[in-house]
Structures are given as C-alpha cells and as structure tokens.
Structure 1
Amino acid sequence: MTTHPNPEIIARYADRHTILDEVTAWSVEAHLEQCSGCRALVAEHLPDPSNDLLARIGADIDTIVATEPAPVRRRRFWAAHQRWFVWHLTPWLIMTMAVLGCAVLLQTLFPSLPSLVTLLAPVAPLPGVAVAWSRRHDPAWELLATTPAAGLGMLLRRTAAILAVVVPALALASAGSGAPLALALLPSLGFTTATIALGTFIGVQRATYVLGGAWALTALLPVLLTADLPVMLRPASSPAWALGTLVVAGVVAWRSHHLRGLSSHY
C-alpha cells in the first residue's frame, strides 16, 4: 500500500516561501511522479500564475498610461501622402522643372533653335517615374511591397502625383516658348504610359532607361545633326500620339496583374 505524504508537508512543498529539507523534498517529488492524487493536491495549493502575470501586466499598463503623454492623432494628410508621394521625388521634380525652365530661357535667347520644350516633353516625367517605385529611394519599400496597397495601384497613384507637377510645368513652358501644347502633353503622357507598360515586362526603372535612351537616339541625336524637329514632333503627329497612348494604356490594363506582386527590379 502506497504511503502518501502528510497534507501539511504537501502544503509546505507547494509554498514557494517555505524551504523543506532535501530528504523530505526528494521523497515528496519521488512520490508525486507516481501519484496523480497528490499532484492534484499540490496544484490546489499553488497560486494561479496566469492571474499573477495578468495582474502585473495590468499594473504596468496602468502605470504607462498614467505617466506617458497622450497619443497625438495623426493628420490624414500625412497618412495619405505616403500612398501618393515619396519625398525623395522632390529633388527630381525640382530638377525637371529647372531643366524645362532652362529650355524656355534658351528658346527665348535663341529663337532659331528647334523647340527644346517639345524635345524634352516626352522624357520629362521619366526620372520621377523611375524613383516613384525604387527600393533605393523609398525608405519604406520593404514594408510597402508586402502590403495590399502595393502594385499597380501604388504605382499609378505615385505616377499621378508626378504628372500633377510635371504637366503644369510643361504647360507653362509651352506657353513661355511658344511650343504647341498638344505636342508637349501628349508625348509626355504617352511615354509615361509606355514606361508602365514596358515595366510589366522588364521593371519600371529599366523601362525608363530603355525609353529614355531610345528617345535620345531617335529624336535628340538627329536634331543635333539636322537642327530640325523630327517628324513625330510636328503638329500633324498629335493624333498619332493620342492613339498610341490609348493603345499602350490598354496594354497596361491587360498586364496589370504583373505589377501586383512587386519585386526589387520594379
């Protein structure tokens, strides 16, 4: 017949403030390994650790709430700007407007030159678009790339923010230099849309480099050699630019699923 420890000894064993001699503690522990009834009796004498822990956590939280300053509600503007704008875009947009300003100044000083504003209009938004979704220029890139807000919607919002700055600048530059407004805005929108479309295949940043380099070779270089605007920048080409922009926009809509899971090169 098994001899059970005295209930008083079990109570003393369960009390963390009471120290039993080594022989008694060893005998109680050896018995507890075989006796579920005594283990239940020990459990009855133990304090509930969860209650103790919750009480301490609650006390700590009450202390923090009482001593820390009250939280300040974040303004909605600052919450929204992260979805629409990256502050690292600011120097690039300033540079774009400065280049357009220099083009207007040169056109004023040298009226015989081909329209510099018209030449620069297609590629004016491209530096901003390249930076709009770049892990190098966006401190929160890793966070945004893993959220549902990332993807085509994020890219389009940031591109819209770029165009909201570049398009008025192009309109002012066109008015200041006498260049046709349609030939400043339509090629700009067309190249921006083409960048996003090509970005679904090779990444948006790479697309800006490819399209910018292609424009330099097919338009800027011939102008330096002939001192005359190419055919695609003459007034009769406006309908072609409008149609091309619509076609490329359709490609963006068709390929939009490729921009929902952005990787590093996007």
Structure 2
Amino acid sequence: MTGWHVSDHLVDRYAGGRLPESDAWSLEKHLESCGGCALRVSRAVRATAAGPVLAGIREAVLSDVREAARAAAHEPMPAGTHRAAPAGAGSPLPVPTRVRPWARRWPSAGPGAVRVLWALGPAVRGAWLPAVLLVAVGAVALAHGGGIAHARPWLLALAPVVPVVGVALSYGPHADPMHEITAATPSAGLRLVLMRTAAVLAVSLPVLTLAGALLPSSGAPNAAAWLLPGLALTLASLALAGTVGLRAATAVTGGGWLCAVLGPVLAAPGGLTHELGERLSTYLDGALAQGGWAAAAVLCAALLAARRSAFHFLEQS
C-alpha cells in the first residue's frame, strides 16, 4: 500500500462513469490493495442509479445459493464431486470437480502445469506447433526422400516469418478465447506478450535451424543465417504492435519480408530457386548483412522498451 489514496473527486467521476480509461485502470489497481478506498468507491457506486440494479443482482445470486444449499442437503452427491463446508454454513455444498476447464483438457495436469500452459499461449498450445513441425519435417523429407535438392532456399525464405506468425497467434481475442480474462490479470500486457513470444522463439528457432542444417546447401546461405532476421522481424512486430495492434504489425513485418524476398524472384525470368538463393545471399550472407540485422534487433528492442506502457491496452477489443 502507498500513501496515496483516491480523492473524492476521482471517486465521484469513477462512480458516474466519467473517468478516462487509463485513470480508471490506475484507480482499480489501487483498490486491490486499499480496503478503505475500495469501501468508499463501493458506497459511491451503490448511491448511483446502478445501485438498485447491483443490489437486485446480489440478492438474486444469494437466493440461488441458498436454494442450491437446501437442495444439496437433501440430494446425493453426483459422481466426481466432493463436499466443501464454508465457514458458518450449516450444511456442506457439493463442489463439482468437473467444472474446472483445465481439468477437462489436461486431466493429469496440476495447477502449476496449467499456469505454464496458459503462459505459453494459444500458438504453442494450438495448431501452430504441429504446422511448424510439419514444415520442418516435410522439407527434410522432400529433400532426401523426394530428391529435391533445392529446398533450403525456400525454407530460409519462410523461416523468418514463422515466429512472426506464432506471435500473432499468441495474444489477443482473435487467438485466445480467454483473452478478456487474461487481459485483466496483473501479468497482462508486455510481460505476457514477451513470455509468449519467448515460447514461440524457443520452439521455432531450433526446429527450423536443425531442419535447414539437414537440407543440401545448393548455394544458399547457412542454416543459421535466418536467426537474426527472424529475431529482428519479431521485435519489429512487437514494437509496431503498440501503435497499430498485433495482427496489423505482424502483417506489415511478415508481409514486407515476403515481398522483399519473393517479389523480385517471382518476377525474374530465370530459375526461381537460383534467383531466390542469390536474393537470400544478399540479405543474409556476410558480416555487413548480419550486422545490419543485429542493429535492427537492438533498435526494435529499444523502441519496444520505450513503448511498453502501450501494451497495457493492447488487443482489448
């Protein structure tokens, strides 16, 4: 708790719904640790036109709870439930274990494991991970089983976009059905975005680099040459997301890379694979190119740190 408390003016504006969203978030955060201010705000809200509505909802909930308690006292417990006795209650209430969503999806996982799975994000939990593995395994199978000796340039062209797509699928209501709940937690914002980005990178970097190392070189850059570009594009997406949103940012960075690499190749009259290898060598090979990508990654990280406050309101709609 700090020495600051909510003023009467802020209480009145909050209760009347006239407080800006950023100030309301700050006030609500303070109420989590200050019982005195929470009591004052609660009284002010109950004094408004919403007070009778809230009182009616509260009474309806309590009435349903009392009815459930009376019914539970005269009915046998369903299978898979246990009784919990609240303090002061005359009869215990059945608490169905089946209502826990994480228990239905991961029956053998404890709460700690569920928290880890939640933090990793929808991309790593969902279809993105099998897609990455399919791309890597498929490229190796085509090169060695299908006799396609020029698979590495195409893998290197697509590899920097893979973590960008994973980040786009990791945060926001379009990807996570629990996003509204997630966004209201103290861990939301940049911290959670970075956790999920790290999970995406931890999967895509080793898998795609190993797959590239198993492919014939065919004049393409080495298998690890895409790592710094992939990191720079991912950080650029995050830095831009604070302004335009995560999906738009990833579309700009990922689409920009694909246009820069594949656009000239598709328009070239010669062989596509040869032109692609030449283009990738220009973008990825040599100390100058890699140094440029490293500098871009550092710059994007600095912009991301400077814009970290924007992530408190990222993807709320």
Q: TM-score, normalised by structure 1?
A: 0.68
Q: Is 1:198 aligned with 2:250?
A: no
Deviation at 1:165, TM superposition (A): 0.8
* Structure 1 residues 68 and 203, CA gap change in structure 2 (3 angstroms): closer
Aligned-partner residue type, residue 286 of structure 2:
P
Q: Is 1:210 aligned with 2:246?
A: no
**Structure 2 equivalent of residue 94 of structure 1:** 130
* Structure 1 residues 60 and 69, CA gap change in structure 2 (3 angstroms): farther
Deviation at 1:204, TM superposition (A): 1.1
Specify the SS of the correspondent of 1:156: helix
Q: Is 1:77 aligned with 2:113?
A: yes
Note if contact 2:173-2:180 (Cα within 8 Å) is conserved in structure 1. Answer: yes
Q: Is 1:256 aligned with 2:308?
A: yes
Deviation at 1:106, TM superposition (A): 4.5
**Structure 2 equivalent of residue 223 of structure 1:** 265
Q: Distance in 2 between matches of 1:87 and 1:62?
A: 47
**Structure 2 equivalent of residue 169 of structure 1:** 207
Note if contact 1:88-1:137 (Cα within 8 Å) is conserved in structure 2. Answer: no
**Structure 1 equivalent of residue 16 of structure 2:** none
Q: Distance in 1 between matches of 2:139 and 2:166?
A: 18
Aligned-partner residue type, residue 92 of structure 2:
I
Please list, as runs of the form range in 1=range in 2, the aligned pairs for 1:145-164 lying within 5 A after superposition. 145-164=183-202
Which is further off, 208-217 or 246-255?
208-217
Percent identical across equivalent pairs? 32
Task: Flag structure 2 segments of 5+ consecutive residues without an equivalent.
Answer: 1-65, 71-84, 104-108, 269-274
Task: Count residues with an aligned counterpart.
Answer: 210
Larger CA Rg, structure 1 vs 2: 1
* Structure 1 residues 107 and 221, CA gap change in structure 2 (3 angstroms): farther
Q: Is 1:63 aligned with 2:105?
A: no
Aligned-partner residue type, residue 254 of structure 2:
G
Note if contact 1:121-1:187 (Cα within 8 Å) is conserved in structure 2. Answer: no
Aligned-partner residue type, residue 91 of structure 2:
T
Note if contact 2:180-2:316 (Cα within 8 Å) is conserved in structure 1. Answer: no
Aligned-partner residue type, residue 133 of structure 1:
Y
Q: Distance in 2 between matches of 1:255 and 1:95?
A: 32
Specify the SS of the correspondent of 2:214: helix
Q: Distance in 2 between matches of 1:88 and 1:182?
A: 22
**Structure 1 equivalent of residue 35 of structure 2:** none
Q: Distance in 2 between matches of 1:218 and 1:133?
A: 27
* Structure 1 residues 96 and 113, CA gap change in structure 2 (3 angstroms): closer
**Structure 2 equivalent of residue 103 of structure 1:** 139
**Structure 1 equivalent of residue 226 of structure 2:** 184
Aligned-partner residue type, residue 255 of structure 1:
R
Aligned-partner residue type, residue 149 of structure 2:
P
Note if contact 2:242-2:311 (Cα within 8 Å) is conserved in structure 1. Answer: yes
**Structure 2 equivalent of residue 3 of structure 1:** none
Aligned-partner residue type, residue 263 of structure 1:
E
Deviation at 1:133, TM superposition (A): 0.6
Q: TM-score, normalised by structure 2?
A: 0.58
RMSD: 3.1
Q: Distance in 1 between matches of 2:160 and 2:182?
A: 29
Aligned-partner residue type, residue 173 of structure 1:
A
Q: Distance in 2 between matches of 1:104 and 1:218?
A: 25
Q: Distance in 2 between matches of 1:81 and 1:189?
A: 23
2:290 to 227, 238, 251: 238
Deviation at 1:225, TM superposition (A): 3.5
* Structure 1 residues 95 and 69, CA gap change in structure 2 (3 angstroms): closer
Provide, for residues 59-90 of structure 1, a one-character-per-residue CA deviation record: whole Å limited to 9, x for no partner.
Answer: 9834216x668999943111232123336742
Deviation at 1:103, TM superposition (A): 3.5
Bigger relative contact order, structure 1 or 2 (CA pairs below 8 A, ≥6 apart):
1
